[in-house]
Amino acid sequence: MNQWYCSVCHEILNAENKPASCEICRADDRMIMSTEQVPGTLEQVRDMARTKLKGICAAYPACDGNFDKICQREAYGKPIGLGGAGQGRSFRANTEALSRIEFNMSVLGDHFEPDTSCSFLGVDLKFPVLAASTAGAQKYNEALDETQFCVSVLRGSKEAGTIGLRGDTWFYTREDHPSLNAMKACNGYGIPIFKPRSQDVLKKLIETAQEYGCKAVGVDLDGCGSTIMARQGQPVFKKSVKDIEELVRFTSLPFIAKGVMMPEEAQKCVDAGVQVIAVSNHGGRVLDSTPGVATVLPLIRKKVGKSVTLTADGGVRTGYDVLKMLALGADAVLLGRDIIRAAVGAGTLGVKLHLEHVHKTLKKAMFMTGTKNLKMADSKILFNQD
């Protein structure tokens, strides 16, 4: 008898041959591996992702949207895959903006253990790093089932001591919505972000999220330009301030406006009553030639003041990047592509290992900049940023 490991629920299965599905969580055989193959390190998870994402993403050490990377090099006229829109300038702007930020390295003072704990919309987290809302992994070489992808992200985030967002895309329908299916499977421990569909459709999806006990809901306002959604009979729209107000009033849950890049528009979202603004250019996937998120984040924080929670995402790869975003004004930081690779590589386990690694490097970054707790993460720890 051989032993098999389900990378979604961690169950050990005894069988001569690889089981077709996990007897506990029903994950299919793509999520099951021999116990000898179970990765113990993030490097092994990335190696597994590289194999499964062949031709789409090579899980490079530097994920920056440069032309030497397969996601960007082959972009013209091809599906966007994990790349950026157009020539990938916005994708690259995210990592370049973060590269320009430098730390003041502080070595004097009392020895201390950095405290990374925080609360996000009333949920206690070990550290302020969340899995970003992403969707569509199933379409990459059919490497995994979309609902299993979503469950892996939600479970892996929870096991690492944080929480996951989930996305929405053209093959998600009201009747079969992998993000909401996964929310149900995870007792609502997650945050669905819906595409800017019609108000009526959004209200129905929000109602389901409430029924499942989700912690918040949101809309990626920057998803309004998606043509594939319309082609698949699921049209998306630009949202007015009135539309956002209506959704905020409609739901009893905190509301997240994702994909805001302009201080004036951020202020309008605050005025509409949103609890969180997710400063994001969608990982550079919706408009070529925007500034990097790290460039606009301090301007947005300055405009909206302390009254609203800000998340930031785009090009964040390490705990060092996380601390830069926090110091520039974010309350929490989202990870996109890295979490996709972790989930494709090794399901829940991959996501957990990835987030734990980022937590470790965040602590290191805080220690070496004399940042004892998250309240101290401000522009003073950055070189020449006062």
Ligand X SMILES: Cc1cc2nc3c(=O)[nH]c(=O)nc-3n(C[C@H](O)[C@H](O)[C@H](O)COP(=O)(O)O)c2cc1C
CA dist 86 and 291 (Å) reads 14
Kindly report the CA angle at 327 between 113 and 162, in degrees rounded to 5? 60
Report the interhelical angle of 199-211 vs 241-250 (nearest 10°): 30
Tokens of 138: 């199933």
Tokens of 83: 């790349």
Task: Identify the residue among 49, 323, 327, 335 touching ligand X (CB under 6 A).
Answer: 335
Task: Identify the residue among 336, 345, 350, 370 touching ligand X (CB under 6 A).
Answer: 336
CA 323, distance to chain mean position in Å, is: 16
Contact 346, 356 (CB under 8 A): no
Residue with smaller CB distance to ligand X, 220 or 331: 220
Label residues 348-367 b or e (16+ Cβ within 10 Å = b).
bbbbbbbbbbbbebbbebbe
Q: Which segment (236-244, 278-286, 295-303, 378-386) binds ligand X by CB under 6 A?
A: 278-286
Q: x/- contact string, 295-334, with ligand X (CB under 6 A)?
A: ------------------xxxx-----------------x
Q: 331 to each of 56, 94, 276, 373, how far by Cα in Å?
A: 32, 18, 10, 12
Residue with smaller CB distance to ligand X, 317 or 363: 317
Q: Which segment (28-36, 108-116, 166-174, 239-247) binds ligand X by CB under 6 A?
A: 166-174
SS3 label, residue 256? strand
Task: Identify the residue among 92, 158, 239, 258 touching ligand X (CB under 6 A).
Answer: 258
Residue with smaller CB distance to ligand X, 22 or 330: 330
**Residue, CB closest to ligand X:** 336
Q: Does 226 bind ligand X (CB under 6 A)?
A: no
Cβ of residue 1: shortest distance to ligand X, in angstroms? 39
Cβ of residue 11: shortest distance to ligand X, in angstroms? 28
Residue with smaller CB distance to ligand X, 22 or 321: 321
Q: Does 64 bind ligand X (CB under 6 A)?
A: no
Task: Identify the residue among 154, 193, 221, 261 touching ligand X (CB under 6 A).
Answer: 193
Residue with smaller CB distance to ligand X, 32 or 297: 297
Q: Does 168 bind ligand X (CB under 6 A)?
A: yes
* Helix H or strand E segment including 191: strand 191-194
SS3 label, residue 276? strand
Q: 76 to 105, contacts with ligand X by CB under 6 A?
A: 82, 94
Residue with smaller CB distance to ligand X, 145 or 168: 168
Residue with smaller CB distance to ligand X, 75 or 82: 82
Q: How many residues of this chain bind ligand X (CB under 6 A)?
A: 26
Q: Does 256 bind ligand X (CB under 6 A)?
A: no
Phi, psi of 43 (to 5 degrees): -60, -40
Pairing between β-strand 32-34 and β-strand 12-15 as defined by DSSP bridges: unpaired
Cβ of residue 185: shortest distance to ligand X, in angstroms? 18
CA dist 78 and 333 (Å) reads 30
Alpha helices by DSSP H, listed for the chain, are: 42-52, 70-73, 89-100, 146-159, 178-185, 199-211, 227-231, 241-250, 263-271, 293-304, 319-327, 337-368
Residue with smaller CB distance to ligand X, 156 or 315: 315
Residue with smaller CB distance to ligand X, 95 or 348: 95
Q: Does 294 bind ligand X (CB under 6 A)?
A: no
SS3 sequence of 131-161: ECCCCCHHHCCCCCCHHHHHHHHHHHHHHCC
Q: Which segment (16-24, 29-37, 45-53, 162-170) binds ligand X by CB under 6 A?
A: 162-170
**Nearest to residue 63, comparing CAs of 83, 37, 39, 36?**
83
Q: Does 348 bind ligand X (CB under 6 A)?
A: no
Task: Identify the residue among 145, 220, 243, 321 touching ligand X (CB under 6 A).
Answer: 220
SS3 sequence of 39-87: CCCHHHHHHHHHHHCCCCCCCCCCCCCCCCCHHHHCCCCCCCCCCCCCC
Q: 123 to 142, contacts with ligand X by CB under 6 A?
A: 132-136
Interface with ligand X (CB under 6 A)? 82, 94, 132-136, 167-169, 193, 220, 258, 280, 282-283, 285, 313-316, 334-337, 340
